[in-house]
Structure 1
Amino acid sequence: MTYDTVRIMLDEVRSADVFYDTSAGAGVVRLLARRLTARWPDLRGLNLLGLGYTAPFLSEWRDQSALTVAAHLGTVPDTMLHRHEADCVVSCSHLPFPDLSFDRILMVHALETAPSGRELLRSVWKVLRDNGKLILIVPNRRGLWALSDTTPYGQGTPYSQRQVRRLLQEGMFHVETCETALYPPLFPLLRSPRLSTAIERAGETVLPACGGVVILEAVKNLWGGVPLTVGKRTFSLRRRLVEAE
């Protein structure tokens, strides 16, 4: 992992930490948490892993799940771990958990800043149980939020729905649902819960592809294979002549 990669990840954590302490950040959590709890209403007895910056969202299930782990990607100083409510810091290419450890994995502010999205998803595939589920939230390339670098949703690489679907399929995941969310414009309208909720619901109907983020729920593809690299090869064939009696 290069110095620039570590710096980008650290800047992402800092910007997320500052953003979610604001009223606008609280508005984002309120809108997205409604989507998340609709997908996962009851996690009693299940192990939950959050990758990226997930502390504001994991609180929705912390009293339910049997185990909740919040993991940052990259290198974060110890003084920031307590402030971010993170349990550990992990590498994108290797998650320090046994295979098949978690029933649910939530990824927020993770894929778009990872040095290799394919490696990260492959590591996630290993630690997710065979009947487990993954929710991935990434900035939407077609949304307004990806155009502003004043929020964590304007950091890293945004994705279209087609791009992130393809990336998940290459990582041996099957996408069950895909939708966009976060329709209200930045800051002002998010401070009003009633108005921002009304705009969110209207956006789902009027502009279903133009939300600020893409939310996907996926399961493991247990029957898929790792694609082979196609290349030109030459073979030297030898003929062996056998004298018939």
Structure 2
Amino acid sequence: MHDEVRTAAAFYASPAGERTVRLLGPHLTRRWPELTGQRLLGLGFAAPYLPLWDDSSALTVAARLKAAISSSESSIIHYPRECVVSGKGLPFDDLSFDRILMIHALETDHAEAGLLRAVWKILKDDGRLLLVIPNRRGLWAFSDTTPFGQGTPFSQGQIRLRLGQAMFHVEHSETGLYVPPFRKFGSGKIGQTIEKAGGTVLPAFGGVVIVEAVKNIWSGLPLLTAKSRIPARRRIFEAG
């Protein structure tokens, strides 16, 4: 797990990491063009992408998962408002954020179900989650020199299932990062051309899956008293 954070830090400090942010940035801002007056949390290793909304969001916080960070790295800050958190219990009040961006988080966290449920609690009821994860059918999942090659990749079907179990409803799903993880393909106009064409030509083989989801606050199951002649109020318990 420690290697995953070191890989991400080194990658985004390199020209290859900067090109990746430029290629993925348009996918993210198409979903969230601007976040005027909204509170944004970046969870995982999201700091390189948060400046996309710095000019509009009311508050932006970056949080790295403690399980993936060694003690020697815990004091290294990559963003002005960054903290280190535990995936099982995020140190934020319930309903704290309007938007949560998760990248390099779910695939590297062993307690993924607990992490998603913790995210569900701190996201406002009308909030939105944007999740970026390695696509198991894409080349980037096999590249050990990038953070997208660390942890466990997902298919679109698998991530929909995980989100459903955590009481999220997927509203949009797409792939991105069609440029192969090789230096000569990712630079300049070549990379931009491949990225624009990839969604039409080879959508299933993008390097990442990008999913936007909302809270499913109606996913409780009713328990009714059997053989009762008197109408009783439904009891609701949380599923998942």
Normalising by structure 1, we get a TM-score of 0.86
How far, CA to CA, are the matches of 1:78 and 1:96 in structure 2?
21
Q: CA deviation at 1:62?
A: 1.7
Q: CA deviation at 1:78?
A: 6.9
Asked if the contact 2:104/2:148 (under 8 Å) is kept, the reply is yes
1:119 aligned to 2:111?
Answer: no
Q: CA deviation at 1:63?
A: 2.5
Question: How has the CA–CA distance of structure 1 residues 83 and 99 changed in structure 2, closer, same or farther, with 3 Å as cutoff?
Answer: closer
- Which ranges of 4 or more aligned residues in structure 1 deviate by more than 6 Å? none
How far, CA to CA, are the matches of 2:71 and 2:188 in structure 1?
34
Question: Structure 2 residue aligned with 1:195, among 166, 172, 190?
Answer: 190
The CA deviation string for residues 120-148 of structure 1, in whole angstroms up to 9 with x for no partner, is 00000000000100000000000000011
> Number of residues paired by the alignment?
220
For structure 1, list consecutive stretches of 5 or more residues without a partner in the other structure. 1-7, 229-245
How far, CA to CA, are the matches of 2:63 and 2:113 in structure 1?
18
1:40 alignment counterpart: 32
Tell me whether 188-197 or 64-73 shows the greater mean CA deviation: 188-197
Tell me whether 180-189 or 13-22 shows the greater mean CA deviation: 180-189
How far, CA to CA, are the matches of 2:214 and 2:188 in structure 1?
32
How far, CA to CA, are the matches of 1:17 and 1:219 in structure 2?
29
How far, CA to CA, are the matches of 1:78 and 1:40 in structure 2?
35
Normalising by structure 2, we get a TM-score of 0.87
Question: Structure 1 residue aligned with 2:17, among 8, 12, 25?
Answer: 25
Q: CA deviation at 1:153?
A: 0.4
Asked if the contact 1:113/1:155 (under 8 Å) is kept, the reply is yes
Asked if the contact 1:173/1:221 (under 8 Å) is kept, the reply is yes
How far, CA to CA, are the matches of 2:204 and 2:77 in structure 1?
35
Once superposed, what is the RMSD of the aligned Cα atoms? Answer: 1.5
Q: CA deviation at 1:212?
A: 0.3
For structure 2, list consecutive stretches of 5 or more residues without a partner in the other structure. 221-237
The CA deviation string for residues 50-76 of structure 1, in whole angstroms up to 9 with x for no partner, is 000011100111222111110000145
